[in-house]
Chains A and B, each alone.
Chain A
Amino acid sequence: MIEIENVRKSFGTLEVLKGIDLTVKKGEVVTVIGGSGSGKSTLLTCINGLEPIDAGRIKVDGTEVHAKSTDLNKLRSKIGIVFQQWNAFPHLTVLENVMLAPRKVLGQSKQAAEEMAVKQLTHVGLGEKLSVYPNRMSGGQQQRMAIARALAMSPEYMLFDEVTSALDPQLVGEVLDTLRMLASEGMTMICVTHEMKFAREVSDRVAFFHKGVMAEIAPPEALFGAPKDPELQKFLAATH
């Protein structure tokens, strides 16, 4: 369970999160929508401790992320995150990209790491690309590799930060299909996205962020069907 309580976060004088409360239960899929600069991406990087917070707290399975005593490296190995820019490691093959963290962080044997990597890469449809260098692949393939790389750590939670935003339109579908597949397998996920159709389909709940505040959160039928917040109404009108 991810528990976010009254989290505040500023960059300089700009307050990007103004007291966010959100609880995500095991197996739940929550998507976060909202305009640029609404703070939705920042929230994800706070959840896995890549960014410090100024107030409030975030607990993952009862462990407080920003407590000094927390072993962040250990915690991060159970929270996978995939970014808008996939950040493939260019000097490693696809297989090596996926094997690196399980080998070095979890201390897996080469054989175990390879088995897991092949399994995850096959799962995202890259079973034929094991010995290819990332530069030789399309953005969509690299992004799916990044997803496999995160999954190889056997995370209990997956955070997706606008993972299709940097992709050519014709490549968006293959990545969204991968996310749909994960959701249907029961992975606990928080997805920041601009893909409204996708959000409507996969989410248990959809949260709308506006200027650092979570203005509305509801199941997709309610949020898209009968939006209450006036800013959300404007946002939906503009994106439809």
Chain B
Amino acid sequence: MFNYTFHWNQALKALPQMLDGALITLQIALLSMLIGVVCALALTGFRLSGNRALSGFATAWIEIARNTPALFQIYMAHFGLGNFGIHLSPYTALLVGIAFNNAGYLAENFRGALKAIPDTQARAGRSLGMTALQAFRYIILPQMMRVAFLPTTNQMVWAILMTSLGVTVGMNTDLAGVTQELNARSFRTFEFFALAAVIYYVIAKAVTLAARAIASRMFRY
């Protein structure tokens, strides 16, 4: 039934190239998370601002990010904006698309985390003479971070995996892009993608384990 001969050597020889690609993957994921967290904080602020234009903008962003395919969000950043004469490179388009997606999900996480802290905490701070900002900074925010930390690391893992969608906009330097090019030259599809999958798995797992270690050090209560 099977008469396929595995050629793992070919794939293993390309390992250094693929690991270089993995670094690009990690770089995009990290940058997209940084941008995503900043945007998500802004969106959370917009939603609580009471200003209809700002909260409408934030709600629209969050709804679109969470309820449309990530692939379309990346497509739009590359080809969609291209129609309006805004030409982003595959790298930038991928980064923008994932950051957009991250921000939507993270904003929802942050709102949930804020809701999880009882009002009486801020009230206790205010009754000690703290300003609203001080109560937020020293009492609410540190507790929010604990609630939001693990969902945020989940999003980081998701961001790493989403980078593979970059091949659809011509990205050829990240792990998926490099793998796709090697595959096109050799047709050793199974070997190359299996090896790439292992690398994705190791990165994702390492991020999860590192996050857990950080969490247990940061949140001792």
Contacts and interface: CB of A to CB of B under 8 A. Distances in A.
Contacts of B127: 48, 50, 76, 81, 83
Given A89-B124, A104-B138, A77 B129 contact: yes
Given A90-B221, A105-B134, A133-B221, A73 B129 contact: yes
Contact of A100 (B123, B138, B219, B220): B138
Contacts of A76: 126-129
B49 interface: no
Interface of B: 120-121, 123-131, 134, 138-139, 142-143, 146, 219-221
B131 A89 contact: no
B142 to A, nearest CB: 5
A214 interface: no
Given A90-B221, A91-B142, A133-B221, A105 B120 contact: no
B124 A83 contact: yes
A80 B129 CA distance: 9
Secondary structure at chain B's binding surface: helix, strand, loop or mixed? helix
Contacts of A133: 220-221
Contacts of B134: 104-105
Interface string A124-143: 00000000011100000000
Nearest to A86: B124
Given A76-B129, A105-B128, 20 more contacts: A48-B127, A50-B126, A73-B129, A73-B131, A83-B120, A87-B120, A87-B123, A89-B124, A89-B139, A91-B142, A91-B143, A91-B146, A91-B219, A100-B128, A104-B138, A106-B129, A134-B221, A150-B128, A153-B128, A153-B129
Contacts of B129: 73-74, 76-77, 101, 105-106, 153
A149 B127 CA distance: 11
A135 B121 CA distance: 15
B60 to A, nearest CB: 34
Nearest to A105: B129
A4 B111 CA distance: 40
A87 B121 contact: yes
Please name the 6 residue pairs, one residue from A and one from B, whose CB atoms are nearest each other, closest first: A77-B129, A87-B124, A101-B128, A105-B129, A76-B129, A133-B221
A139 to B, nearest CB: 15
A178 interface: no
Interface of A: 48, 50, 73-74, 76-77, 80-81, 83, 85, 87, 89-91, 100-101, 104-106, 133-135, 146, 149-150, 153
Contacts of A101: 125, 128-130
18 contacts: A48-B127, A74-B129, A76-B126, A76-B127, A77-B129, A81-B127, A83-B120, A90-B221, A91-B143, A91-B219, A100-B128, A100-B138, A101-B125, A101-B130, A105-B128, A105-B129, A133-B220, A153-B129
A2 to B, nearest CB: 16
Contact of A104 (B126, B130, B221): B130
Most buried by A among B126, B127, B129: B129
Given A91-B142, A91-B143, A85 B130 contact: no
B206 to A, nearest CB: 27
B143 A90 contact: yes
Given A89-B139, A104-B134, A135 B128 contact: no
